[in-house]
Structure 1
Amino acid sequence: MSDGTGRPGGEVERPRGEDGDRSVDVRRRVEQIALGLMATSGVVVLLADLFGWLDALAPGGALPKVTLLILSTVTVFLLMELERLKKLDTVDDRVRHLGPDVQRKISDLEAGVDAQISTLTANVEAHLSKLDIDAIAQRLKRQHYGGVVQIHSRFPEDAFTGLLERAGDELVILQTWIPNLHHLRAALYKAITDQQVHVRILLLHPSSPVAGLRDEALRAVRDPALAVNVRASVEGCLAGLAELNTALTPENRTRLQVRLYNSLPSIAVFKIDERFLVSSFLHGQLAIDSTQIEIEGGDTVMGEEVQRELRTLWSIGTDVDLLDWRTSVAGISL
C-alpha cells in the first residue's frame, strides 16, 4: 500500500540528518565501550599480576602480550578518531583564514569610525567658529547696559594710567579743572611723546559765572574752611598744563590742545580711544571723588551721548595758548 507519496504505507519519513545523528551515536557508544574495556583490562591485569595469575596463565610472556593488546586497542581507537582529528585541522585552517578577514574588517571599521569622528569634529568646530561667544556676550552687554562695563567708587587713577599706556588715538578730558593733574602729568607726557596720542582738554573758563555756581555747590554741604576756589583751581590747572607744554618739543606741542568753555557742564569725562570714564558734578563733592561709570564703545548708547556732549562743548570752547596762558585767557570774551 501507498500513502500517496510513493512510499510504502508503513514507512515513516525520517527527518533530514537523522541517519547522520544515529551513526554519530553508534560511534560514540563504541568509543565508550572500548574505553571501558581498556580501563577494565588495566585493572584486571594489575590484580592478576598481584596474585600471580599472569605467570600461571602465560609464564614469562604474559605482560608483554597484555601491553601489546592494550596498545593495539589504543591504535584502533585513534584510527576511529582520525576523521574527527582531520576536522580539527579544517577548523584550524578556517580560523587562520578568518583571522586576516576579521582583522581587515576591524581595520576598515576603525577607519570608518575615525573618518566619521573627524568629519563630526570638523563640523562642530566649523559651527563653533561661527559662534563667537565673546562677541555675543559683548553685543548683549552693549544692548542691555548701553556700553557700561564697570562702576568705580571714585576716579581710578591706576586703571586710567593703564588705559592711557595702551592708547593709540586720542585722550579727551572734560572737567571744570583737573584736581589730580599732578598725578597724571607723567602719563600725559609719555602718551604725547612716545605714543603720539592727541590730547584735547576742556576746562571751565576761570571767569565764567559757572565758576561761582560751582563754588556754591561745593560749599553746600562742606565746612567753609574746606571750601575750594574754583577760579584759582582752574588757573592752577592751566599753569600745570603750561609746564607740561614747555617740557614738550615744538613738534609734540601740536598734539596738546586746551580749550576753555563758558557753559554749565553736565558731566565730567575722561575719554581714552573708545573707553570712557564718566562722572557727575555733585554738590559738596569733586567729580573725581564721585562714582565713575566706565563705558566701552563710542557706538554704544551712552558712548554716543557722551561724545555728543564732548563735541558740543568743544565747538563752543576757545583755544588757550599755553606758552602765555594768562594773556590768552584774558583775551577770551565771555
Structure 2
Amino acid sequence: MAVRHQAEKIGLALTTAAGPLTILADVLGLLDEVSPNGIQLVTLLILTSVTMFLLLEVRRFEILDSVDQRLAELDIDGTATRLRRERYGGVERVHSEFPISHFKALIREADSEVTVLQTFIPNLHLLQNALRDALTEHSEVRVRILLLFPKSPVANLRHEALRSVHSPTPPVNVKVAIEHNLESFARLSAALPERARTRLEVRVYNSLPSMAVYRADDSYLVSSFLHGMLAIDAPQTEIKGSDTARGAEVQEELNTLWQIGKPVDLADWQHSIELIDFDNVNVS
C-alpha cells in the first residue's frame, strides 16, 4: 500500500510538471522535431495519464461509501443513551436556573403525568396555562402537586433559610406563598370541565423536603433547597428515565411524599386545610 501511494505521488508530480514543460517545448519549437502535431499528442498523453489515475482512485471512493454505510448502521443515539444511563445515572444536562420554556414544552409533550414537588411553586403563574392545556387537551394526563403543609413548622424553617444578608428585600413568607398556590389551583380546578378536574390532584406534606422536582412523564428537573435562594433559581439537574439510577431515586422520593401527603379539596381548600391533621409531626 505504501509503495502504491509513493508511485501515485510520483506519477501525479510528473503529470503536473508535464503541462508547463510541454508549453515551453512548444514555444522553443522542440515538439516540431517529434511530430508536426506534437502538442496535441502530448496533451492526449497527459489526459490519458490523468484518466488512469482517476480510475485508480475509484476504489477509494467505494471504500468511503462502505464507511458511510457502516456508520449508518450504527445506533449512535442508542449507544449515547446507554452510556448516559450507565455512567451518569440518567443525567442529561444541568441548567443554570429553571428552564421555564423547556419545561412547558415537556408538559405539552406529556402523555401520562406531570408532577411538581415543592415547598411552594414560585413560578406557578408561568406554568398555569400549560398545566390547564395538559388537563383539557390530553385525556390521560394526570397533574399531581405536592406542597408543604402551610401550618408545618418546616414552613417557618424555610422562611428563615430564605433570609439572605445579601438581599435587601425581605424573605418570602412561605406560609402565605403556599396558600397563594392553593388558591391558584382552586381557581384552575373550578375552570376545568369535570372530566379534567378529577385528574388535578393536590396534596400537602408535613416533612423536610429533600429536593424540588418538576416532572413530565420520564423527564425530571431536580434542584436543592439552598439558603438564601429559591429552588428554581438554583442549578437544575435534568434527568431522563425513571429506570435510571438518579431517576429511580427521585421517583421514589415522589412516591414516598405522595403516600404521606394529605389530599386537599380544591372546592374549599381553606376548610380542607383546617381539617387536615398530621397525627405525628414528622420533620425528619
TM-score (norm. length: structure 2): 0.72
Letter in 2 for 1:303: G
Partner of 1:229: 173
Partner of 2:107: 164
1:156-208 CA-to-partner distances (Å, cap 9, x unmatched) read: 11001111111111001000011111111111100000022110000000000
Letter in 2 for 1:149: E
Letter in 2 for 1:206: P
1:240 to 184, 187, 204: 184
Letter in 1 for 2:83: L
SS at match of 1:323: helix
- Following superposition, the deviation at residue 131 of structure 1 comes to 3.2
Q: Residues 210 and 263 of structure 1 are in contact (CA less than 8 Å); yes or no, is this contact kept in structure 2?
A: yes
1:51-86 CA-to-partner distances (Å, cap 9, x unmatched) read: xxxxxxxxxxxxxxxxxxxxxxxxxxxxxxxxxxxx
Q: Residues 204 and 262 of structure 2 are in contact (CA less than 8 Å); yes or no, is this contact kept in structure 1?
A: yes
2:117 to 149, 156, 174: 174
Q: Residues 259 and 314 of structure 1 are in contact (CA less than 8 Å); yes or no, is this contact kept in structure 2?
A: yes
Partner of 1:139: 82
Find the aligned partners of 2:192 and 2:111 in 1 and give their Cα distance. Answer: 19
Does 2:244 correspond to 1:300?
A: yes
SS at match of 1:226: coil
Which stretch of the first structure deviates more once superposed, 184-193 or 222-231?
A: 222-231
- Structure 2 residues without counterparts, runs of 5 or longer: 1-61, 279-284
Partner of 1:269: 213
C-alpha RMSD of matched pairs (Å): 2.3
Find the aligned partners of 2:101 and 2:183 in 1 and give their Cα distance. Answer: 24
Within 5 Å, give how 1:1-334 maps onto structure 2: 131-196=74-139, 197-223=141-167, 225-334=169-278
Which stretch of the first structure deviates more once superposed, 237-246 or 223-232?
A: 223-232
Q: Residues 115 and 215 of structure 2 are in contact (CA less than 8 Å); yes or no, is this contact kept in structure 1?
A: yes
Find the aligned partners of 1:290 and 1:283 in 2 and give their Cα distance. Answer: 10
Greater RCO structure (CA 8 Å; 6+ sep): 2
- Following superposition, the deviation at residue 214 of structure 1 comes to 0.3
- Following superposition, the deviation at residue 128 of structure 1 comes to 5.9
Q: Residues 221 and 283 of structure 1 are in contact (CA less than 8 Å); yes or no, is this contact kept in structure 2?
A: no
- Following superposition, the deviation at residue 132 of structure 1 comes to 1.2
Letter in 2 for 1:284: G
Q: Residues 164 and 171 of structure 2 are in contact (CA less than 8 Å); yes or no, is this contact kept in structure 1?
A: no
Partner of 1:85: none
Partner of 1:17: none
Partner of 2:39: none
TM-score (norm. length: structure 1): 0.61
Q: Residues 200 and 258 of structure 1 are in contact (CA less than 8 Å); yes or no, is this contact kept in structure 2?
A: yes
Find the aligned partners of 2:145 and 2:94 in 1 and give their Cα distance. Answer: 23
1:35-58 CA-to-partner distances (Å, cap 9, x unmatched) read: xxxxxxxxxxxxxxxxxxxxxxxx
SS at match of 1:236: helix
